[in-house]
Amino acid sequence: MPAALLSSAPSLALPGVWRGDAWAGGVSPVVTSGHGALDAELPGGGWPIGELIELLQPPSARHEWRLLLPALRLAQRQGPLVLVGAPHPPHLAALAAQGVAPDRLLWVDTAEHNDRLWAAEQVLRSATAGALLAWLPEARPEQLRRLHLAARAAMPTTAEHTGTLLMALRTDAVRPQASPAPLRLLLRSAVGGLEVQVFKRRGPPMDRPITLAAELPVMACLRRLPIPPVAPARPHVVDRPVAQPRHAFA
């Protein structure tokens, strides 16, 4: 391309075209992450609603609670918090102490990959959940795209429900893999907090990870052993989805 054309490229501003070195604006509504330093690194200034967000972390890590608790408290105002395929039972007392209402929590307990995908899609289609956290370590790009499109299709047309905050939790081993998620983050432990790197976003590349002063709750929000139910607030538990088309995500 002639030098004259290259030099004029930055001045081009075509409607509907996003330049990869610029921030994308007005893509979807957002909810604050509750961390000012992170909001400054997220397009729109918060977590996008109605879009797939991938959180990658080392196996057995539970950094998601340290990161997401502020946003989950806000999302519950819109609808219940749904956990699909969480590796351990939710610790109701810990969640309640952090401001997350146990009686507005639905736990879908299944280890089957296709069941998790099916359950997550049904939650999105219902358009009633405030937030959906789905543990999907084996998901393929086309399966993630299906969930992303389901979240987009379920965006409401009224102000009564602004949409579902959708998070897919996966291991850091899948970072090199292609993903349809417009926002991908890597979480690691750091001295005095949590290290967060936004390595895919609708905006310029992130120069370096940031460290958030996100303290680990006094009690982990997911326990490794089952606990007695806490009365009167109890999570709704679904042992496994029923009557689903097994081939839907094959």
Model pLDDT for residues 9-24, shown as the tens digit of each residue: 444 455 555 455 555 5
Mean pLDDT, the chain, integer? 82
The pLDDT, as a whole number, for residue 156 is: 75
The pLDDT, as a whole number, for residue 191 is: 85
For the ranges 50-59, 188-197, 216-225, 235-244, the lowest mean pLDDT is seen at: 235-244
Per-residue pLDDT, averaged over 77-92, amounts to 92
The pLDDT, as a whole number, for residue 88 is: 87
Rounded Cα distance between 10 and 93, Å, is 54
Rounded Cα distance between 92 and 208, Å, is 35
Domain spanning 29-238 has what CATH number?
3.40.50.300
Q: State yes or no: pLDDT of 220 exceeds 70.
A: no
**Token pair recorded at residue 236:** 């709704």
Domain residue limits, the chain = 29-238
The pLDDT, as a whole number, for residue 19 is: 55
The pLDDT, as a whole number, for residue 147 is: 97
pLDDT tens digit string along 27-55?
Answer: 679 999 999 999 999 999 999 999 999 99
Q: State yes or no: pLDDT of 187 exceeds 60.
A: yes
Which one has a higher pLDDT value, 191 or 157? 191
The pLDDT, as a whole number, for residue 22 is: 54
- Band (pLDDT 50/70/90 cuts) for residue 161 is low
Rounded Cα distance between 138 and 113, Å, is 7
Q: State yes or no: pLDDT of 169 exceeds 60.
A: yes
The pLDDT, as a whole number, for residue 216 is: 62
Per-residue pLDDT, averaged over 78-83, amounts to 95
Which one has a higher pLDDT value, 219 or 65? 65
Provide, rounded to the nearest whole percent, the portion of the chain with pLDDT above 90: 58
